[in-house]
Structure 1
């Protein structure tokens, strides 16, 4: 049974990047525009991975959850939503012209917002545009983030008919008082019944998201929520920590009237959730993700082939360079990052005029690409072989060490605390090192010297 070392967590609880990308999004700049993105897309055809991943962003929600930190919109009429979908398809049609048809599409991910809250007719319209412009691999993943409040069996059948094969359910909590406080509706179909139906319909990698640190949650109540989630038998379970930043997302301030769990209580919630999931047979992935032993994520972790992008964990077999479509979407190419306009109006206006709506981005040099790979391996697989990285970039180990500004004194505290081991140019994360993995990654990030960006605490 895992017991978090509170002294250890306190010691390493400092501000740092989440490393969903490297360099972090705080380095993106507005000097990168539409023409740069077009060039980056063309260059990406000759880079690895060869596979293509597509991200579709639907920014609409029937109602706004007060805990959410996403850029979303509510109260939009049918005409606005249809116009947005038309712009989205126009962007797909244009950008895809520069993506080689010889490359296979292995992953499509829909996020938002609440993608399943728009009509099946509009979802099908976008899906048909994707199929028209890309060549799907024989084995592909098409996933959607869904709110259970707007998901019924009929919608599941329609999604399956369109080719969707993975679903993530944003449950957050089962308790009515918690859902009411965060302005979120209860599931339309009981989650256990929905998961059983999804599995029968042919979906795999079925995920349940929970959030801890919300109003009215206690150690006991969240433990009950986790048990209910486990009883529903998902393939994957995630327990996210609620980040309270009302200065950035003003709607979060509404939650303060109810009171929020303290830091120590939140750690206890995570500790209990971790132990409950492991005792139920799930494999821990990262700090707060769990997967069944036969799930793709668990297998990829075992084989040191787990990967990550802005949409979350993925496997090297299914992930590709990510081409994002829609407001605020981020494209993650080998050579660059590109982000679209964040507001609906600006996005639609620019797509209508230019076919693209890039607002900022970043081009990576080879040193940054090397650092990205080292950090990604540490964050995902808790292991990095500097010899393999050197081989991947057709360079020497000494060049890799120089790129990450390797200094033994920077990792010495982790070695002393038995969180990290260095031998034969291989780094292995040990024990509770996975819970301070962001801190370990920071030791290989020379860009931190620039002081760009404000970051959340690492623990």
Structure 2
């Protein structure tokens, strides 16, 4: 697949990534802790019934310059212990409000770098869930890992705690690139780490990469993809580097090395697409690839793929998300709520027996409709107006009136071969997959006036 340069120039504009709707910049500090705790209680009567858990570990031993996540740079083991003690307390505090008849379908550890923690601290938290909660038959229990902090003993420990998926944040195989972005170079080769994981049947492997970093070229990234294919991961992710130095000041340093042009970033995307599809992987959404028998690929085929702050997930594992730890964002049916901003703030509040929500958002009925529409576009590259109308007990006409929508908004995308539509359906083309954020933005009635806050789509 080749993406015409004029389309890149045309659509390379600031738009949200739509990991939530509305995006997090709409969260407000008028949403307080009491609002969240009430929403947690009420969530027991909402759909989906399943429970998804997100655990944020902010610690890293050094700052990767490209990073847009919430991190805390330290090697202080006492601080890590105190933080994890607070995390366990928070889990018990929220757990008192949850109906234990509900089952956990997903646990995701993100960061930061969760695997800078001593393994036993992770095991202690996992033991709370495995001993006090029921799980669906095949839950997804995943952890993001920096390969530089992994060895066989740590991998074995993770799997003994019940993890079913390990994501390795490779980013790039070239040491020159890793050094420029201040990313630690693993001592154990990625292919060896994957072999260690593969010793355990039923445990899946993700490899995560970033394109658009200093010293990456179209040719070098193509080579990276070829090497990744030989390692044979179950899933592979190619994240487009989002350069937002006005939000993350450390990113400014990368400009000293020079960044690939938007045109070359697109070529990197094309190379990844060509190689991954040729190797038999199924493209998922913006940036994921999965083997044909992977649950995610099956969900795409069935148009039952979902997306939250943790990434893509299937309808079976999708649950209301209860987030624990600093800056964790809970995604319940009716509300979003974000935890304390700093490690000190978080620990202090929990030690006083309090949960601190610093901002949040209560969704209106219209927000929920738009959220579902954008989910269908971003995940399944397909939209049926009649299905959405049925889901929300309304008519197609009322739905379109609510959004002030008419098909003329899609005509330009049709002319550019990004999608096709009928009176009831919108179908995204392979080319349109690269511009999903732009297409989704058409349905976002809140976007006008806020675009300067987002990264560009390319």
TM-score range, shorter chain: over 0.9
1:258-297 matches, cutoff 5 A: 258-297=257-296
Q: Distance in 1 between matches of 2:108 and 2:187?
A: 23
Task: Tell me if 1:298 matches 2:297.
Answer: yes
Q: Is the 8 A contact 1:51 1:320 kept in 2?
A: yes
What is the deviation of 1:205? 3.5
What is the deviation of 1:227? 1.2
Task: Tell me if 1:102 matches 2:101.
Answer: yes
Q: Which moved more, 1:65-74 or 1:138-147?
A: 65-74
What is the deviation of 1:458? 1.8
Aligned to 2:124: 125
TM-score normalised to structure 2 length = 0.97
Q: Distance in 1 between matches of 2:93 and 2:76?
A: 26
Task: Tell me if 1:205 matches 2:204.
Answer: yes
What is the deviation of 1:325? 0.2
What is the deviation of 1:257? 2.7
Q: Is the 8 A contact 1:205 1:295 kept in 2?
A: no
Number of aligned positions between the proteins:
458
Find the residue that maps to 1:102 and give its secondary structure. coil
What is the deviation of 1:380? 0.3
What is the deviation of 1:406? 1.2
1:322-341 matches, cutoff 5 A: 322-341=321-340
Aligned to 1:18: 17
Q: Which moved more, 1:241-250 or 1:14-23?
A: 241-250
**1:405-435 CA distances to partner (integer Å, 9 max, x unpaired)?**
2122222211232322222412111241111
Query: Structure 1 44/403 Cα, relative in aligned 2: closer, same or farther at 3 Å?
Result: farther
Q: Is the 8 A contact 2:331 2:337 kept in 1?
A: yes
Deviant stretches of 4+, over 6 Å: none
Q: Distance in 1 between matches of 2:228 and 2:310?
A: 22
What is the deviation of 1:295? 0.9
Q: Distance in 2 between matches of 1:217 and 1:112?
A: 25
Q: Which runs of 5+ in 1 are unaligned?
A: none
Q: Distance in 2 between matches of 1:365 and 1:18?
A: 21
Find the residue that maps to 2:214 and give its secondary structure. coil
Find the residue that maps to 1:41 and give its secondary structure. helix
1:369-408 matches, cutoff 5 A: 369-408=368-407
What is the deviation of 1:239? 1.1
**1:173-228 CA distances to partner (integer Å, 9 max, x unpaired)?**
11111111112222232211222221221344311011112122112222211111
TM-score normalised to structure 1 length = 0.96
What is the deviation of 1:105? 0.2
Find the residue that maps to 1:206 and give its secondary structure. strand
What is the deviation of 1:247? 2.7
**1:22-79 CA distances to partner (integer Å, 9 max, x unpaired)?**
1111110001111000111112111111111000000001222122122211224111
Task: Tell me if 1:189 matches 2:185.
Answer: no
Q: Is the 8 A contact 1:418 1:430 kept in 2?
A: yes
Q: Is the 8 A contact 1:245 1:252 kept in 2?
A: yes
Aligned to 2:72: 73
Q: Which runs of 5+ in 2 are unaligned?
A: none
Find the residue that maps to 1:238 and give its secondary structure. strand
Find the residue that maps to 2:352 and give its secondary structure. helix
Find the residue that maps to 1:67 and give its secondary structure. coil
Q: Which moved more, 1:386-395 or 1:319-328?
A: 386-395
Q: Which moved more, 1:226-235 or 1:214-223?
A: 214-223
Query: Structure 1 417/259 Cα, relative in aligned 2: closer, same or farther at 3 Å?
Result: closer
Q: Is the 8 A contact 1:212 1:241 kept in 2?
A: yes
- The CA RMSD over aligned residues, in Å, is 1.5
Q: Distance in 2 between matches of 1:10 and 1:262?
A: 11
Q: Distance in 2 between matches of 1:416 and 1:216?
A: 36
Find the residue that maps to 2:435 and give its secondary structure. helix
Find the residue that maps to 2:453 and give its secondary structure. coil
1:3-152 matches, cutoff 5 A: 3-152=2-151
